[in-house]
Amino acid sequence: RWADDFLSQLAKVQEVRRLHLPRRLHGELKQELVQAYEDSERRLLLLDYDGTLVPFAPTPNKAKPDEELIAVLTPLARDQKNTMVIISGRDAETLDAWLGEVGMDLVAEHGLMIRHSDQKQWEQVDDDISDEWKEQLKPVFEMFVDRTPGALLEEKGAALVWHYRRADPGLGSQRAVELIDTIEGYIANTSLHILQGHKVVEVKPSTVSKGRAAQPWLSAKPAFDFILAVGDDVTDEALFEVIPESGWTVKIGVPERSKARFFLSDPSEVRSLLKELS
């Protein structure tokens, strides 16, 4: 009897876990999304950049948008029914240089800075956020750059990012764990937060998130009747969490437990979807 109960409970646990796995967005599901897009009058597209619209590059500055991507995004941005938002971890200067002429709203540093397509100036979401903490933590990051061949430090307005994509995989992963352990001692009882993404370790204010940054669009009136949110990283989970049930949330990469309802494999599949919409 106990064995039957155990197997029954195990089956229930596995079923719950399956419910948390996003479904592949293809076939009839994909056509359902395209049809919903075509039938709508006010559309909101919230798109991550690295790992979503472009593949990851060895160094951050190598991931510039190619001609194909600009050609895919431009007609979508010009469609009067669409509000296009690139919501990225990139800094404001880079987003401006790479995508500023396409005509989309831009969100930098996971939600710290926002620039609408009809504005030239960036706005900081929270004026109380300080970057004074960076002076204390920057030497720690620099020490781990020195100890890890191929690693590099990226400094943003209110964040420090340690990249180890070009480092030896084993050493890079080991140093990432060590860096996180070291940082945790510095940021205890502060408002700072550690993010571990794709071959990166980032420290930023915990009050900054993509979910919070998306609120001005999600609360806009009249409401959008089509919402698509696409991202590949742990930072995108905060965005997926605030999208209404009627919206389309898509995680990019190998399927894993996520707050997204659907998944696509890589940026090429994202571009293919966007081409169908345009």
List of domains in the chain: 11-125+210-277 (3.40.50.1000), 134-205 (3.90.1070.10)
In terms of average pLDDT, the best of 17-26, 54-63, 192-201, 213-222 is 213-222
Residue 50 confidence (pLDDT) above 80: yes
User: What is the residue whose two structure tokens read 């293809």?
Assistant: 26
d(CA 166, CA 150): 5
Give CA–CA dist 223/22, Å, rounded.
Answer: 26
Q: pLDDT digit string (tens) for 164-197?
A: 999 999 999 999 999 999 999 899 888 899 998 8
Question: Alpha-carbon distance 131 to 85, whole Å?
Answer: 26
List the catalytic residues: 48
Q: What is the pLDDT of residue 129?
A: 79
**The two three-digit tokens of residue 242, written as one number:** 């605030």
Beta strands 160-163; 200-205: pairing state: antiparallel
Task: Please write the tens of the pLDDT for every residue from 124-139.
Answer: 887 777 788 999 999 9
Whole-model pTM?
0.86
Q: Of 235, 193, 238, 195, give the one whose Cα is nearest residue 218.
A: 238
Residue with token string 């920057």: 138
